Amino acid sequence: MQNTTIAYDSKVEGEIIVTQADAVINWIRKHSVWPMPMGLACCAIELMAAGGARFDISRFGMEVMRFSPRQADCMIVAGTVTYKMAEVVRRIYDQMAEPKWVVAMGACASTGGMYRSYATLQGVDQIIPVDVYVSGCPPRPEALLDAMIKLQDKIGTERSVNNLFPKKADSKEVAGATKGS
Ligand code: SF4
């Protein structure tokens, strides 16, 4: 049989499709990502554009931007993260339910960008785990969409059945760590 997550055999009575729990759960999750728009600076304008008719993030089932962290599962950090805001970003991330993912949009969110100063965090991955980084200053909306597709690919490979139950030791509590590291 071909190595695939879905198997179909018409000879089986009732035409049953056989698959894996991981494949079903991941398929549902990756097509219903609800972003938490953490707009902190100019990159947020490009994030807003991605939601408009021209770029239309709803093609990927991601148009439901939630401003309540408890209703969101993907934080898109768009903009410069100052130390003043870092605590807020971390608190909102903590309030999001598992499973959750993070996209660092733009040079500032990824590395601090041009702001190598006492006031700016040199990358949001110092306080929360980042799944996908987007380069650019600012990245275009297409770059964000590309990142979201990469995130979908990543979600598709996760061991979701394991994630259905609370973890004993949460590796994401470690500052600067990334998922799966
Ligand atoms: S990466 Fe550029 S466009 Fe984005 S927040 Fe920083 S300075 Fe602004």
Give tens-digit pLDDT for 11-31: 666 677 778 888 889 999 999
| Residue of 42, 45, 120, 140 to test ligand 1 pocket, by largest number of atoms within 8 Å of CB | 42
Residues of the chain with CATH 3.40.50.12280: 34-154
Residue 173 has pLDDT above 70, yes or no: no
Distance 158 CA to ligand 1 centre (A): 31
Q: At what angle do helices 21-30 and 141-156 cross, to 10 degrees?
A: 160
Q: At what angle do helices 43-50 and 141-156 cross, to 10 degrees?
A: 70
Ligand 1 nearest atom to the CA of residue 138, by list position: 3
How crowded is residue 162: how many other Cβ atoms within 10 Å of its Cβ? Answer: 9
Annotate the chain with DSSP letters as a single string: ----SEEE-TTSTT--EEE-HHHHHHHHHHTS--EEEEE-STHHHHHHHHTSTTT-GGGGT-----SSGGG-SEEEEES--BHHHHHHHHHHHHHSPSS-EEEEEHHHHHH-TT--STTB-S-GGGTS--SEEE-SSSPPHHHHHHHHHHHHHHHHTS-HHHHTS--SS-GGGSTT--TT-
Rg (CA), the chain: 18
Can you name the CATH fold of 34-154? Rossmann fold (3.40.50)
Query: Would you state the pLDDT for residue 181?
Result: 36
Smallest CA separation from ligand 1 atom 6, residue? 108
| Residue of 38, 80, 114 to test ligand 1 pocket, by largest number of atoms within 8 Å of CB | 80
Q: How far apart are CA 60 and CA 66, in angstroms?
A: 16
What are the pLDDT digits (tens) for 77-96?
999 999 999 999 999 999 99
Query: Would you state the pLDDT for residue 171?
Result: 47
Query: Would you state the pLDDT for residue 110?
Result: 97
Smallest CA separation from ligand 1 atom 3, residue? 138
Q: Which two tokens stand for residue 31?
A: 């097509």
Distance 109 CA to ligand 1 centre (A): 8
What are the pLDDT digits (tens) for 139-157?
999 999 999 999 999 999 9
pTM of the predicted model as reported, rounded to 2 decimal places: 0.83
Distance 74 CA to ligand 1 centre (A): 20
Tell which residue, 150, 112, 159, has the closest CA to residue 131.
150
Torsion of CA 142, 177, 68, 41, to 10 degrees: -50
Q: Which residues line ligand 1 (CB under 6 A)?
A: 41-43, 79-80, 106-108, 113, 137-138
Distance 46 CA to ligand 1 centre (A): 10
Residue pair 137/108 in contact (Cβ under 8 Å)? The answer is yes
% of residues, the chain, pLDDT over 70 = 82
Smallest CA separation from ligand 1 atom 2, residue? 137
